[in-house]
Chains A and B, each alone.
Chain A
Amino acid sequence: MLFNSFAFFVFLPIVFFLHWKVFNKKKQFQNLFLLAASYFFYGLWDWRFLFLIVASTLVDFYIGQHIYKSNSLNQRKKLLWFSIIFNIGILFFFKYYNFFIDSWVSLFHIFGIELKNTWTLKVILPVGISFYTFQTLSYSLDVYHKKITPTTNFISFATFVSFFPQLVAGPIEKASNLLPQITQKRTFNYTKCTEGLKLILWGLFKKVVIADAIAPIVDDIFQNYANYSSSTLLLGIILFSFQIYGDFSGYSDMAIGTAKLFGIELISNFKFPYLSRNISEFWQRWHISLSNWFKEYVYFPLGGSQYGLTKSIRNISIVFLISGFWHGANWTFIVWGSIHALLYIPIFYTKNNRKYSNTIVAQTTLLPSAKETINIITTFSLVSLSWVFFRAQSITEAFGYLKQVFTNFSFEIYQHPSGYRMIDYYLILILFIIYEFRIRKNERAPFNFSPKALRFILYTLIIFCLVLFFDDQTDRSFIYFQF
């Protein structure tokens, strides 16, 4: 079930109503109902893969208990490794198995040895596997490091793992944030609900009006890049940057908004990343929950920046490479991760990685300064160029695209072969950028304007845009579902 599907907008009010009106007596009822709703939500996509979620839940629930109870460090380590191997194992099997087999065969091919590729399997990638395995894994790790006390309530834990708003594409929640909210009885909060609804509306706008609307244009440019000049290819890169941002941040906003309807606060996943002034700031604002996960469970355990420059650079590189590989079983994602490592290391070296940690562009002014503007444009350009590897089907295609950008210099006015009216997209993107800049100080309150009449006009315009840009012919699934 997609957040942008009609089925979801039937499902959500029903679940909301039943949660607050029928199953509101005890926290056990609330959680049991949320768990059933979450399994139903996931099962509608493919009920066969529910067993994976249940298995992952069972394993980490019992491992958490045993780690907590055990006094033997050796025993605790063994249990933790079992959890890691189990979670990474299912992720490896469903997501990376074929990639490694193919790479192995290709490697032998380079040396002139032809292997028969009979080992690859036809497996479907279960939606959300990269997200919920990381979430359950973080629970076992936190229990091991005694950061949290494991819950003894299986239903609460299962609800934490499978909570439907963030089950299939995050934000990846740490147990220390989400679990305490689930283990206590939640009470209806009118303000939280209205905030949630506003975020859902804003997320839907980003998904339908920004991401889905420009998707056919991006598809055309990337599929036929050899026929286009550099100006069109640059347009393709810029549009893809907004497509992926609209798609994923739109999903995250809807997830956070939906969770709010049930009285649960998820962490912010995006904080206007394209307003970043350097790559370090970009990573503090893009897919925050994943960055935090890697920082806490990979970067810090490796030593972080504690043991000198060389080891710090090594650790940064490892995190970016794994992060790239997490996105997909393709060399393109590894290159994408490497590019970001290369862009990040100089900033780390010059100790500018924390420079913009607590501020947003034009913090106290109406408009950004000239320096800030240049920094934003530079960062956006670098990030956008790296997206080529993210979007391309292969390394060859990505390099082919970039080669064309830098060699086929000419300007042409792009026309989509099917005749889409391009001015509509340019106009909506410009308005979107201006609006995002206007609301840059609070990603969780996109309509924080007064008076009421102005908010009403905004809601109406957003819904009008949804109606204007709705296109039943485009694939409306979320890009991050494939990860």
Chain B
Amino acid sequence: MLKLFLKIGGYLFLILIVLEVLVRIFHLAKDTPKRFIDEAKVEKWIPNQKGIAVTGNRKQNHARYRINNAGFNSYQEYTPTKEQFELALVGDSFIQGFHQDYTHSIGKKIENALPAIKVYEYAYAGYDFADQLHLIHAYKKDFDLIDQTIIYIDFNTDLLRGEYAVIQDRIALQSPLNNMLKKCKLLVYTKSIGVLDPPKNLVAKLINSLNKRPRATHTKIKKVSHQKNNTIVTYLNNFKKLVTTYGFDKKRYSLLLNTNTTPKPFLDYLMANHFKIIDFHQALKNATAPTYLIYDQHWNDYGRTLIANQISKTIIP
């Protein structure tokens, strides 16, 4: 039996090496730019990096990214002026768009539709509303020169906190161990397509069963709707707190959101307090083809075109 195990081990070792080579040859694994925190405590990408972002298996969706001098994914540098009409798009990975070639980003699509304006995309994967308002505040000089700012917000994920602090977990992705692991492209690829999820889930299951977490009771189920209401109140309070802390220029700033996934109390609050909204719900609803990527939760090229069109319609240079 030892012979069998040794042979299997030997074969697996050699096969893994060949697979690593094949993954590199076909560039199946995504490149990840390096991140840092600048002097204004804004987390972003280290400037001037290039690479290929890959989502899904068999490299079915891949796109080039280019991190500019400002530390964001864009085909251009950000040099706001008083003379030129500029639009800033602030958001998370949906706006950042590593899923599409940087020369076809939402910003570029808006520029194509409205040639008179320049669009600067201040977007970074994982940004929430606190990150976004902190960024605008930190780069006040630039944003004062920018004519319009659109902030992409998802009520359910972007209002979990009411004050800004650097998220250490994200920075921990830069740890020496993580950097070393990222060098193994086979690992990066298998992780990205979910091959490693089953072992991770199994370990989590085992840990949970060892901790013997109590089962959900009827009382707990009843509490769910109550908790949901509490969550809306908490998120709304976080929004108010952040707006109070950093300010919100209602003349120049708009919120880009999907009214279909946003709770009514929040929408009512925005309306009552004259926040400008760009709603893309109808645009996605009337889509004639899928708007999301196959292996990813982000918009595909068509979805991004619809978002860009929706924004273009509301911007008057």
Contacts and interface: CB of A to CB of B under 8 A. Distances in A.
A419 B55 CA distance: 13
Q: Which range contains the number of B residues in contact with the other chain? A: 20 to 34
Contacts of A7: 198, 202
Contacts of A459: 11, 15
Contact of B57 (A10, A418, A471): A471
Q: Which range contains the number of A residues in contact with the other chain? A: 20 to 34
A188 B197 CA distance: 34
Interface stretch (A69-77, A100-108, A109-117, A460-468): A460-468
A20 B15 contact: no
A469 B15 contact: no
A417 B19 contact: no
A473 B15 contact: no
A189 to B, nearest CB: 10
A197 B8 contact: yes
A426 to B, nearest CB: 13
Contact of A424 (B58, B290, B300): B58
A459 B14 CA distance: 11
Interface in A230-264: none
A contact patch SS: helix
A473 to B, nearest CB: 7
B194 A464 contact: no
B19 A467 contact: yes
B contact patch SS: helix
B205 to A, nearest CB: 9
A414 to B, nearest CB: 15
Given A6-B198, A467-B190, A417 B290 contact: yes
Contacts of B14: 456, 460
Contacts of B194: 470, 472-473
Given A418-B290, A459-B11, A6 B199 contact: yes
A381 B295 CA distance: 34
Interface in A170-191: 188, 190
B70 to A, nearest CB: 32
Given A419-B300, A467-B189, A468-B57, A460 B198 contact: no
Contact of B202 (A10, A190, A418, A473): A10
A456 B11 contact: yes
B299 to A, nearest CB: 13
Contacts of B4: 190, 193-194
Interface in A412-442: 417-421, 424
B210 interface: no
Contacts of B18: 460, 464
A471 B58 CA distance: 10
Interface string A15-54: 0000011000000000000000000000000000000000
Interface of A: 5-7, 10, 20-21, 188, 190, 193-194, 197, 417-421, 424, 456, 459-460, 463-464, 467-473
Interface of B: 1, 3-4, 7-8, 11, 14-15, 18-19, 22, 28, 57-58, 60, 189-190, 193-195, 197-199, 202, 289-290, 293-295, 300
Smallest CB-CB A-B distances: 4 pairs: A472-B194, A6-B198, A418-B294, A460-B18
11 contacts: A20-B1, A190-B3, A194-B4, A194-B7, A417-B290, A421-B58, A456-B15, A460-B15, A469-B58, A472-B194, A472-B195
